[in-house]
Amino acid sequence: MNILRNGWLLAIVVCIGSFKAVVAQEATHRFSLEQALEYASEHGYTNISSNYDVEAAQRKIWETVASGLPQVDFSGRYNHSMDLTQSLLPVEFFPEENWPDGVQSGDKIPVAFGTAYDASYTLGVTQMIFDGSYFVGVQATRVFVELTEQTRRKTEIELRSKVAQSYFLVLSAQENKVAFEELLQNNEAILRETKAMHETGFVEALDVSQMELLVNDTRQRMKEAERNETVALAVLKYALGMKGEEQLELSDSLSHLSRRMLGSGLPQPVLDQEKHVDYQLAAVNEESRKLMLRNEQVQYLPKISAFYNYQKMGYADEWNVFGEEWYKAQFVGVQVSIPIFSSGMRHAKVQQQKLNWLKSQNEKERTMHELDNHFYTAMADMKNSHEQYLYSIQNRELALDILEKTRTKFSHGVSTSSEFTQQQGQYIQAQLSYVQSAVNLMNAHISLLKASGDL
């Protein structure tokens, strides 16, 4: 029995372990830069909110269209009059034998009209016949949907730019961490050699202390790079719309992205202003302002609507009014509202909207010039970043070569620990400059794509 029970326990533990492994594997994402951008477009928080905005705008179209279709309303009422309303009537309205005591000719007596209980229900139908604002509103809702679509597109572009920049920050932290890990291993090996040489009297204690200081500094830099990677990953996961428990791995590297981007030379995108999202937003804004102007202009036109009401009423002195006879009333009609004089208020509103329309035209023109300026600036930044990137590669290779030669000389007792420390500091600076220049190059490329409308 104990063997059987232990066998079951072992099987349960194995199943739980396998389940956890499967869950962990499913919760791990490995993304290239393009995959990260696509994932963010689908799962990013801002993108999801923008999609809801577009869907709500599409629902707005039918709301506006439906306001011009027949509207049917029903209402009901049940009343109990605890004290009926009284009116004063001349006493001569009643036979003299029914006059209250003390009442004389010419006096007025209070009389209550109605019943203690009454109920009614009404069915009403209205139909708009003509309203200039309605027809302008239908056009405006379609423009509003287009504006929401362009805003969603703008939001997605900003999100993709943020995701790309966060992706590059993670890669830079990983690149620095790997470089410092390798440097730490080399320094620890040299420290062990230096201690052995000190024990045999070939180097001074100062050299050992200098190497220990160098190892500690490298270890601290490596830990700092690890913390930077953790923070950058958290920022990237948030931009992607990932949950906190999900794991993320990046399949690209800075060198791979740089080589792929520069494989056929510097990118040479072409700016098409009319296809750029900023221009399209400005154009839609101009169209919406034009419709607002038209809406104020149609306020001079009359508004016509038709209506039909059907009503039934019942009265009783007891609470059960439904057992009594009910009386109906119905009527149909047309309502016309004609604006005649508003002391110049409508004219002032038209002039305001006309100025806003002219302002939107000026904004569209300004947007066109801004797009040109941003594009040429992004092209210049791309060239500068490319040159700096090439220089940083050469500088890092030179600094590494100098460091390796200095390390060899130090191992043979030809160079001092101070000289080795100086050369390592130079290499570290070259490594950091290389990583930063690679990140700047990637960001410049993203800015160029964004400026040309290709992101």
Is there a domain that residue 243 lies in? Answer: yes
What pTM did the predictor assign? 0.79
Tell me the C-alpha distance between 29 and 167, whole Å: 14
Is there a domain that residue 4 lies in? Answer: no
Backbone angles phi, psi at 36, to 5 degrees: -65, -40
What residues contact residue 341 under an 8 Å CB cut-off, 6+ apart? none
Beta-carbon neighbour count of residue 239 at 10 Å? 22
Is there a domain that residue 365 lies in? Answer: yes
Supply the pLDDT for residue 4: 45
Is there a domain that residue 94 lies in? Answer: no
Chain centre to alpha carbon of residue 255: 31
Supply the pLDDT for residue 103: 75
Contact present, 40 and 239 (Cβ < 8 Å): yes
Is there a domain that residue 22 lies in? Answer: no
Supply the pLDDT for residue 23: 41
Q: How many CA atoms lie within 13 A of 79 on its CB side?
A: 15
Domain limits for position 418: 32-84+108-300+317-452
- Closest CA relative to residue 375, chosen from 270, 264, 258, 262: 270
- Closest CA relative to residue 78, chosen from 105, 111, 117: 117
The CATH number covering residue 410 comes to 1.20.1600.10
Tell me the C-alpha distance between 42 and 298, whole Å: 42
Q: How many domains does the chain have?
A: 1
Q: What is the DSSP string of 35-100?
A: HHHHHHHHH-HHHHHHHHHHHHHHHHHHHHHHTTS-EEEEEEEEEE-SS--EEEEEGGGS-GGGPP
Is there a domain that residue 165 lies in? Answer: yes
Is there a domain that residue 341 lies in? Answer: yes
Helices 132-199 & 417-452 angle (0-180, nearest 10): 170
Q: Cα 349–353–354 angle (5° rounding)?
A: 115
Tell me the C-alpha distance between 307 and 129, whole Å: 10
Cα dist from 227 to 174, 176, 230, 428, whole Å: 10, 11, 5, 18
Is there a domain that residue 11 lies in? Answer: no
pLDDT tens string, the chain, 455 residues long: the values are 444 455 555 555 444 554 444 444 456 889 999 999 999 999 999 999 999 999 999 999 898 999 899 999 999 999 988 777 778 778 777 777 777 777 777 778 777 777 888 899 999 999 999 999 999 999 999 999 999 999 999 999 999 999 999 999 999 999 999 888 988 888 888 888 888 887 887 778 888 888 888 889 889 989 999 999 999 999 999 999 988 788 999 998 888 888 888 876 778 888 888 899 999 999 999 999 999 999 999 999 999 999 999 999 998 888 888 878 889 999 999 999 999 988 899 999 999 999 999 999 999 999 999 999 999 999 999 999 999 999 999 999 999 999 888 888 888 777 787 888 888 888 889 988 999 999 999 999 999 999 998 88
